[in-house]
């Protein structure tokens, strides 16, 4: 049975809010000493996979306005929280994480502004690949087997920065071209 697009309480939203609430537990599990952690990696995998699960539930039962707001917020909390935790542990460098964070905040604020005018801003393919690259960069830093292969997860981090900037530029181009959210936003 389809849900009302204005509904707040849905299964998809419950999974999304759960992801937000469990994220701080993950951040606490990221080791203070560099070296990775299977437990943190496992939790990271579950939280990232739950993004796909809540998307499945939303498509199956109906997308809501609250879910369209909460899902990207949960992605930002999870990814940026993990990245800044890795910065605080001396694993990630601050500069690439700040670049990613600034883009995410700017795009999120723009989404809220145009959303208030009734314009929908669905994620584009580039934005989805960007999110995956960010998740892989964190996973590489958390995995004990790849932790010593610093070049690997730092390459993934810089790839994520590049895709983050590309999707942000696409977003800006569409906004400046006056197409706002009508044609697959970033």
| CATH number for the domain harbouring residue 160 | 1.20.120
Residue 95 within any structural domain of the chain: yes
pLDDT at residue number 5: 67
Per-residue model confidence as pLDDT tens digits over 161-171: 999 999 989 88
Which of 166, 46, 165 is closest to 100 using CA atoms? 165
Which of 6, 163, 124, 149 is closest to 69 using CA atoms? 6
Residue 84 within any structural domain of the chain: yes
Distance CA 25, CA 161 (A): 25
Residue 158 within any structural domain of the chain: yes
- Domain with 31 in it: 11-176
Which of 51, 66, 61 is closest to 15 using CA atoms? 51
Per-residue model confidence as pLDDT tens digits over 32-86: 887 889 999 999 999 999 988 887 777 787 777 777 778 888 999 999 999 999 9
Specify the pTM. Answer: 0.86
Q: Is 173 exposed, middle or buried (0-12, 13-18, 19+ CB in 10 A)?
A: exposed
Confidence band of 155 (pLDDT split at 50, 70, 90):
very high
pLDDT at residue number 109: 87
List the structure tokens of 6: 């204005």
Residue 185 within any structural domain of the chain: no
pLDDT at residue number 1: 59
Look at the chain and report how many structural domains it folds into. Answer: 1
pLDDT at residue number 63: 78
Q: How far apart are the first and last CA of the chain?
A: 30
């Amino acid at each position: 049975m389809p849900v009302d697009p204005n509904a707040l309480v849905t299964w998809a939203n419950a999974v999304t809010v759960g992801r937000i609430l469990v994220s701080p537990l993950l951040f606490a599990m990221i080791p203070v000493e560099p070296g990775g952690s299977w437990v943190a990696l496992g939790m990271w995998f579950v939280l990232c996979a739950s993004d796909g699960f809540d998307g499945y539930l939303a498509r199956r039962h109906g997308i809501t306005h609250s879910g369209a707001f909460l899902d990207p917020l949960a992605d930002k909390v999870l990814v940026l929280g993990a990245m800044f935790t890795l910065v605080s542990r001396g694993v990630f460098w601050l500069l690439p994480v700040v670049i990613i964070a600034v883009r995410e905040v700017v795009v999120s604020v723009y989404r809220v502004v145009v959303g208030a005018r009734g314009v929908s801003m669905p994620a584009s393919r580039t934005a989805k690949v960007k999110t995956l690259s960010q998740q892989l960069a964190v996973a590489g830093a958390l995995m004990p087997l790849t932790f010593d292969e610093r070049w690997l997860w730092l390459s993934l981090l810089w790839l994520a920065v590049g895709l983050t900037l590309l999707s942000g530029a696409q977003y800006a181009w569409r906004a400046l071209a006056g197409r706002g959210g009508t044609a697959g936003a970033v």
